[in-house]
Chains A and B, each alone.
Chain A
Amino acid sequence: MHISPLRVYALVFAALLVGTLTTVAVAFQHLGPFNDIVALTIAVTKMTLVVLFFMHAKYSTRLTKIVVASGFAWLLFLIAFTLSDYLTRGWLGVPGK
């Protein structure tokens, strides 16, 4: 059982705040397609910090890490394979598909 020093929590907390303020500021800039990419990158980074440090995944068993990774992998399967339909409609030149 790992007990984190308060300093770690405070650093993560600060990073999360910085991330929030950054993402709001960047949202109002004209970055074209990069707006979405930056926003999602910041969100994924914040999530990673919460999972690793607040939820102690970094100090947990390998099994816990596999469980966490599987959850996200499966969400990606759902999104990616569903999008594989929508984004490829009309690719093969078959009418109506």
Chain B
Amino acid sequence: MANPQPLLATHFDTLDQQRESASLGMWVFLITEVMFFGGLFTAYIVYRSRLHGLFDYGSHELNVTLGAINTIVLICSSFTMAIAVRASQLGDRRTLVRFLVLTMLLGLTFLGIKAVEYQEKFVHHLVPGPHFQWHGPQPRQIEMFFSLYFAMTGLHALHMIVGVGLILWLLPRSAKGFYGPDYHHPIECFGLYWHFVDIVWIFLFPLLYLLGRSHFVG
């Protein structure tokens, strides 16, 4: 059963114009997201440079293995999402549904691992606020690292949750065969969003987990 609604909205002249408009709109939205996260990245860079190496102590508290696994999980999810978009372009309903589901499962895996990490922080009193405890030098400045850690990864996780929610919305439509060569821009646009969220993590991982690691080796 294909899409019961007319494919072409009344204010557009051609399907191509509609698809290109949707795509341009999505890209413009993504650069607003770049600037949104950008404010946090700016704060991170400014404080990192001002606090001269103190951030490395904070980095050291993060679990590199879990972070690396999560990075790989997200990269896999980008791969599956790219395949899903391709399937929608070809009208391959079965592949589209399968790879949307895979993408979602990988996204949920990421969120699960993140939850484990957050829980660890909570147990070790590394959540900023009245219960923060740090038994090393300059605890108040280390708290800044963790404020930024939670702000940046938290905002990222929120975007992942929205992404998973959007997949849930796209799945029934995909299963019903709404998307094909003439009309697939919802999948394409969602793919752009998902890849963007992956790119944010591609930067978060080295900045938060990896910088300063060499100071703690042998």
Contact = CB atoms under 8 A, between A and B. Distances in A.
A50 B23 contact: no
A17 to B, nearest CB: 6
B75 A86 contact: no
Interface string B206-218: 1100111110010
A70 B75 CA distance: 25
Interface string A52-77: 01110000110110011011101100
Interface residues on A, range: 35 or more
Contact of A67 (B28, B81, B212): B28
A1 B207 CA distance: 36
A72 to B, nearest CB: 7
Contact of B31 (A12, A35, A74): A74
A6 B86 contact: yes
Contact of B214 (A9, A27, A64): A27
Interface of B: 19-20, 23-24, 27-28, 30-31, 34-35, 38-39, 41-42, 45-46, 49-50, 64, 68, 71-72, 75-76, 78-79, 81-83, 86, 89-90, 181, 191-192, 195-196, 198-199, 202-203, 205-207, 210-214, 217
Interface of A: 1, 3-4, 6, 9-10, 12-13, 16-17, 20, 23-24, 27-31, 35-36, 39-40, 42-43, 46-47, 50-51, 53-55, 60-61, 63-64, 67-68, 70-72, 74-75, 78-79, 82-83, 86-87
List the 7 closest A-B pairs by CB distance, nearest first: A71-B31, A27-B210, A39-B206, A13-B79, A27-B213, A71-B34, A75-B38
28 contacts: A1-B181, A6-B86, A16-B75, A27-B211, A28-B214, A28-B217, A29-B214, A30-B214, A39-B206, A39-B211, A43-B203, A43-B205, A43-B206, A46-B199, A47-B199, A47-B202, A47-B203, A50-B78, A50-B199, A54-B191, A64-B24, A68-B31, A71-B31, A71-B34, A74-B38, A79-B42, A82-B42, A83-B45
